[in-house]
A = this chain, B = another copy of it.
């Protein structure tokens, strides 16, 4: 159940609701509603003598299974990553190499990305690779390089975490932790990511439904971390033409279901450099809150994913066009809401 608490409710009211849930052995999490009040999501039904408590608003008994992630819990969220807002209406660009290579190389890549318009730096220190014989990333050394690049450029950094016991280590260095497509349903990892407060970017499993994706976000939220950002990165289909197929239906679809910000990754979503610019723009047109794009000063010599990596010059062009295009769209869609009839998934 979801219990709304009004902006003028005394602190004791939410305390009482949380206590009642705990008494029944239920999980309860409170999120601000963006208007001064809050909503409390409870993993079951608590008989609320609380109805008499001051400041109790609406009580929803029927809601989505991903209660905390749903729009029934609160309107659109903004997640702050090292001072950069994601979800506040301005599309954000995250860029950088697939893998952290060396300290100097990364700093150079970060400077180029910043100059091209990027607000956040990406780069992998721990790399999930299909083959045990492939390069597996520089590990903690890579994390230190990321911190150095942040120091030099001021760009907050995003990097992948692959196992529960790495969560604290990665959170020490990174401004946002990335959970990759192959780990979207790694529940122990999600739980541990729920126990920190650093933001988490949860990429979609390449064969996961929208509902499963939101349930995975719910794991993080239910364990206490409200700072979750979703990232569509391509799904696996019957067509081997592309490495993956970017599923942009998911972007406006998610906007009807969840308050969490939504990014799009056209690099993995196409697997091919020549498609990145077009699909980046398409992602923004579809309503994404930002883009994550693999860039490298010299894509042909990138340590991994070179085929889908673009140059900083191309990145700059995407950035300019993205901003202009978004302004154009916002102008036309300012007056009336875009959404007409919401998607109904199983309740």
Contacts and interface: CB of A to CB of B under 8 A. Distances in A.
A188 B188 CA distance: 13
Nearest to A192: B163
B246 A246 contact: no
A173 B333 CA distance: 38
B278 A285 contact: yes
Interface stretch (A72-80, A95-103, A123-131, A147-155): A123-131
Contacts of A212: 130
Give the copy number.
4
Contact of A131 (B65, B238, B241): B65
Given A281-B285, A325-B325, A329-B325, A207 B209 contact: no
A332 interface: yes
Interface in A211-229: 211-212, 215, 218-219, 222-223
Interface in A102-146: 128-133, 136
Nearest to A165: B165
Contacts of A185: 128, 130, 182
Contacts of A92: none
Interface residues of A, number: 89
A40 B43 CA distance: 50
A256 interface: yes
A251 B278 contact: yes
28 contacts: A65-B133, A130-B215, A131-B218, A132-B190, A136-B187, A163-B186, A182-B187, A186-B186, A207-B207, A207-B238, A210-B239, A211-B241, A235-B245, A239-B247, A241-B345, A246-B248, A248-B282, A249-B269, A274-B342, A274-B343, A278-B286, A278-B287, A278-B338, A279-B286, A281-B285, A324-B328, A324-B331, A325-B329
